[in-house]
Amino acid sequence: MALWRNIFAAFTLLLIFSVSGNVLGQEKQEQPTTRILFLLDASGSMLAKWESSDRMTVAKNLLAHLVDSLERYDNVEVALRVYGHQFGRERNDCKDTRLEVPFSGNSTAAIQKKLTEIIPRGNTPITYSLQQSAGDFPEDKARNVIILITDGLESCGGDPCAMSLALQKKRIFLRPFVIGIGIDPEYEKQLSCIGQYFNAADVQTFETVLTEIVTQTLSQTTVSVELLNEQGQAVESNVNMTFLNSLTGQPEYNYVHYQSGEGKADMLDIDALLPYDLVVNTTPAVVERNISIRPGKHNVIKVKSPQGILNLKQDGPSPYGQLPAIVRPHGKEQTLHVQQFGEQHKYLTGTYDLEILTMPRIYMKGIDLKQGQTKLITIPPPGQLAIPSQIKGYGSVYLMEENGVQRWLCNLPEENSKVTMALQPGNYRLVYRMKTAQASKFTDVKDFTIRSGATTTVKIFNR
């Protein structure tokens, strides 16, 4: 078959570059072992006529050619599991599946021989076959791939989609490939949930699909991530990026974004057979769900992530020590970040609310951060309240608001009233009763004022 020879000639040339790890002058890197399990349908329907032959004969011939082309590569191992071939349909055996040729460094001859012996006979236990395939892969670290070739749907009442998803989440194998031979289009959805589905409507398409799948499995895939500003320019950088497995939620790759002096993002090698969500860890994070990656190609992923800078500064010396501020999205209770005064931090452009943990707390709402600009937030320096008396008792400090409302701020220590505390400028009230006082009428009330950078002394007297 001339078409088949041409396809495999091109495929072999591709493998010379991709499997060897020496692509376009890059340094040679050690490649992980890739294990490809062919899961072949040998149910009775595979004897149906297909063009000038039947489905099973075509599948056998093409698989035999394919494993022969893979045999020469040290980092590729191939195995064969078959279902529906041991018992006739009259037995209705839903456990009719068997690993006919296990993984090894040289399984080509064994697979080719076994293919000549297989006769389609029985049912289509896809779910049970997927479950059993979990034990076909050795437990060492490798890229495990399943290629399911079938002409029908599950016939034993199982749920192959749920089984496939469960095994992918356990990292038994990567997202499977499913080749449907002569499948009615209305049934494609029942197979596409198992893995990446290809419809082989004719023999030529089947040839092309097989080659495409193996090319995807073995060829090198790279990505560049461009972090865009509001004008679509790739100017943002130096941000942590996480490629999450969209099935498991687990991180597959962590990178800190790099951009050259010429404004070019660097190229990253990733495994194209995994499904990804990309998280750009700005504040707040930008999440791109189910990013599209073309295997064997260089992919450019563009993420809009314009940022501005929030600079928190307190005038004069700070008796607070490190003064934190809670940063929230405008109008929401979610805490995005706790930023210290004296620090600068980048945020996505937008509107934010601040809660500054002074005494009393300062609330600032509707702070706008613009792209590439720095927003400076300053607060006046506090004054200090000094209580020199060393008395045991019960007391509280209140803020006196302009409308005359008295708002509680804090309690004084019961065992020793001697304190020095930083307070924002304003009017306050101290309410105190000594522990030795035997009635509420002995409560002492004192009003005082705090000024920036000054100390106000309030004395409590024994009585």
- Which pLDDT score, from 0 to 100, does residue 74 have? 76
Domains and CATH numbers, the chain: 30-218 (3.40.50.410), 222-304 (2.60.40.1120), 307-379 (2.60.40), 383-457 (2.60.40.180)
- Which pLDDT score, from 0 to 100, does residue 13 have? 40
Q: Give the residues across from 287 on adjacent strands.
A: 279
DSSP designation for 43: B
How far apart are the C-alpha atoms of 243 and 251, rounded to whole Å? 6
Average pLDDT taken over every residue of the chain: 90
How far apart are the C-alpha atoms of 5 and 1, rounded to whole Å? 6
At 370-410, the pLDDT tens digits run 999 999 999 988 999 999 989 999 999 999 999 999 999 99
Quick one: CA dihedral 96, 102, 108, 109, positive or negative? negative
- The two structure tokens encoding residue 446: 């004192």
Our measurement of the distance from residue 1's CA atom to the centroid of its chain's CA atoms, rounded to an integer in Å, reads 44
DSSP letter for each residue of 22-36: --TTPPP-PPPPEEE
Instruction: Taking residues 227-243, report their average pLDDT.
Output: 95
- Which pLDDT score, from 0 to 100, does residue 29 have? 56
Least confidently predicted of 38-47, 250-259, 315-324, 423-432: 315-324
- The two structure tokens encoding residue 438: 């035997």
How far apart are the C-alpha atoms of 120 and 49, rounded to whole Å? 13
- Which pLDDT score, from 0 to 100, does residue 5 have? 47
Orientation angle between helical segments 160-169 and 126-133, nearest 10 degrees: 10
How far apart are the C-alpha atoms of 55 and 78, rounded to whole Å? 22
**Amino acid code (one letter) for 361:** R
**By the 8 A CB rule, do 156 and 127 touch?**
yes
For 159, the enclosing helix (H) or strand (E) is: none
How far apart are the C-alpha atoms of 40 and 42, rounded to whole Å? 6
Q: Give the residues across from 53 on adjacent strands.
A: 50
Which one has a higher pLDDT value, 270 or 29?
A: 270
**Amino acid code (one letter) for 58:** V
How far apart are the C-alpha atoms of 78 and 70, rounded to whole Å? 8
pTM of the model: 0.81
Q: Which stretch, 39-53, 63-77, 172-186, has highest mean pLDDT? A: 39-53
Q: pLDDT-derived band of residue 332, with 50, 70 and 90 as boundaries?
A: very high
- The two structure tokens encoding residue 10: 């091109």
pLDDT exceeds 50 at position 18: no
- Which pLDDT score, from 0 to 100, does residue 462 have? 60
| DSSP-derived pairing of the beta strands 298-304 and 222-228 | parallel
At 88-118, the pLDDT tens digits run 988 989 999 999 999 998 899 999 999 999 9
How far apart are the C-alpha atoms of 84 and 87, rounded to whole Å? 7
How far apart are the C-alpha atoms of 377 and 54, rounded to whole Å? 76
